[in-house]
Amino acid sequence: MENFQEDKEISVASIGQSLLPYVQRCFNMDADTMPCTVDESFVMINEVLARRVVKGIQLMYGIEFTWEVVATDMSCLHLALRIFTARRALAPFSAVCSDDLQAAKAIETPLEVAASA
């Protein structure tokens, strides 16, 4: 999560819309099996295809799922909701919060000042 303001603007719909073209490519643009809309279910997804989708989710959103999650959710909309929920749950541990934590650690406490004197 590079930019906290950018993360606030991400919605389930925008995640689903950005995930759909990637999922379609994972299905090799096969019109018989690939989803054409965000809420359309995947047809005949196997472990190899699910692992491709998992890798894309990891690269795009920094969230790691197992391939079974993709096989269970069976649509971009369900995956988008899962990604949104995971990002919201992990937000307190994001880089933004760790930067604030490092800044807070840089402030000297009275004990540290006394120890260095």
112 falls within a domain: no
99 falls within a domain: no
Which pTM value belongs to this model? 0.71
Token pair recorded at residue 89: 């749950």
Instruction: With cut-offs at 50, 70 and 90, classify the pLDDT of residue 10.
Output: confident
Q: Which residue range is the domain that position 46 belongs to?
A: 4-91
Token pair recorded at residue 60: 């795009």
- For the chain, what is the domain count? 1
83 falls within a domain: yes
Convert the pLDDT of each residue in 54-66 to its tens digit: 999 999 999 999 9
105 falls within a domain: no
**CATH code at position 55:** 1.10.1200.10
Contact 67, 47 (CB under 8 A): yes
Q: Is residue 74 scored above 50 in pLDDT?
A: yes
